[in-house]
Structure 1
Amino acid sequence: MASDPTAKDQRQPSQQIESVKIFSYPKVIFLWPTMVFALICGTGMLIVGDLETTPEPPVTPEAVEVVQAAEEGQGEGAQVAEGQVEAEQVAEIEVPPPGARRFSSWQNIFGAVFLIVFAVNMMVMSLDFPRFTLIAVILFALTLTFLLLYLASQGVDFLSPLTALSRHLYFAANAGFFFAIAFIQAVMYAIIWATRYLDYWEIRPNEVLHHHGPLSDLDRYPTIQLKFSKEIPDILEFLLGLGAGRLVLNFSTNDRVVTLDHVLFINSKEDQLKRLMSQLQVRIPGQEV
């Protein structure tokens, strides 16, 4: 039995795309890992407490009395000798260096992790990492790691200077600082999300609309002979920015090229545009297409 053409026509509209809206976001959206780690570090600081004071070596009351007696010249010789022995025993108590304890404290760990994430985030925003460049950086990091492991197996001690340096490094901030960073970024993202409709593109089967300006100014372009291409100039931004990429619109009718950077879900937008362009139909009066 032949299929019902009416039922087929009823299924087609549900699969059609009426329009595709394309938003171009600023590059600051790739700072969201810093906001996430600011919230994590702020929560951790609420748990472990604020800044830690430098611990002082323990001193017994007997040692204090002996020192005072020696300064004032009081006491018998035997008592002084006994006090000197107790003082030497107190001096022999092993106390971890203040720098080492401060470096391994949770306050310093949270601060160091936040700074590392922030530094990596800024590097991703400052430099472009195409596919081959990213592979080269990974291979260089692996080569350097194996080289350091080989030198360590040959008896080269390069950890001692780093350990000595770490005693002088102390990065700490209270929970309010981390939460303030996260709050500022959250407000910034909210403003970006709310104002994205001030400048965006809408592609329809028969025309392309450019909405811009606070009063919703509108520019119209024909969809006929519209060409578009997708580019992923930075693979790290693609991973951090929810599949962000670059979309290039080429209007052959007026020789205009529009470049839209940092378009989220670029693969999905490309698929929608392909389906939209495939729906483009031309009807001639008196004929059925």
Structure 2
Amino acid sequence: MTDLRLRRSVLYMPGSNARALEKAKTLPADSLILDLEDAVGQEEKELAREQVCAAVKSGGYGDRELVIRVNAPQTPWGEADLRAAIEARPDAILMPKVSSPAVLEAIANHLEALDAPEDIAVWAMIETPAAILNIKEIAQARRDRRTRLTCFVLGTNDLAKDTWAQLVPGRVPMLPWIMFALAAARSEGLTILDGVWNDIADVDGCRTECRQSRDLGFDGKTLIHPNQLEPANTSFAPTEEEVRRARLVIEAFAKPENAKRGAIKLEGRLYERQHISMAKRAVTWSEAIAAKGY
């Protein structure tokens, strides 16, 4: 058993859709992003804010992590969004357009001024060329506990819009930025979530990109439709063979005869001591998924 927080599947839910907010209580998603920003038209911003905050307060979402994506502070809705989100007390608030550490510092000051509970984390959307260029410094903002920064969320659609990069299968145009962001996140112990797959009807394409995300090293993938949950949940889960091999590595290095050995050979493969932590991670993920039930 483990208390690992899984974020394989992180589903955006439009805050203006009350039916969707209710349905989310039954979906096999690890986390839910209740959206007040991109998924909501200007004329529905206030309605979305009311519905999302009421939903978070009323509960009923089980152990699903609840995140509210607010509008940026400089927009007409940002201030009210932040105040309402703090009152609702989600697990985290997702801030859009975080392009420099100064943005996180300003948010930290804002949260302090509003007496935000300490257990509300901050997630950062990485969705601009400036964010990619400043990604190391943005990640290092986590060292200041006031920022509450715990997670990066890639906004690949916005990155494509601003750079003119094409959203093609395999994402070759974006891979350098993706990996740069991932390296920055890992260097500071941050969770990092991949951007969305846009073609709702193409579940196989979603599965392929989820597997790529997992292979690249992401914690999970953001999603825009419930039919993408199964591809994400299964893609980010270790296979039975991976878990079997992981347990074998852990057991082998635990044997007295291997106590001082830096590397051992198992089933024709060479394993070094650094593989122990990788093996333990696979086993921990497997146990967390089993405990969750999906």
TM-score (norm 2): 0.24
For the pair shown, the structure with the greater C-alpha radius of gyration is 1
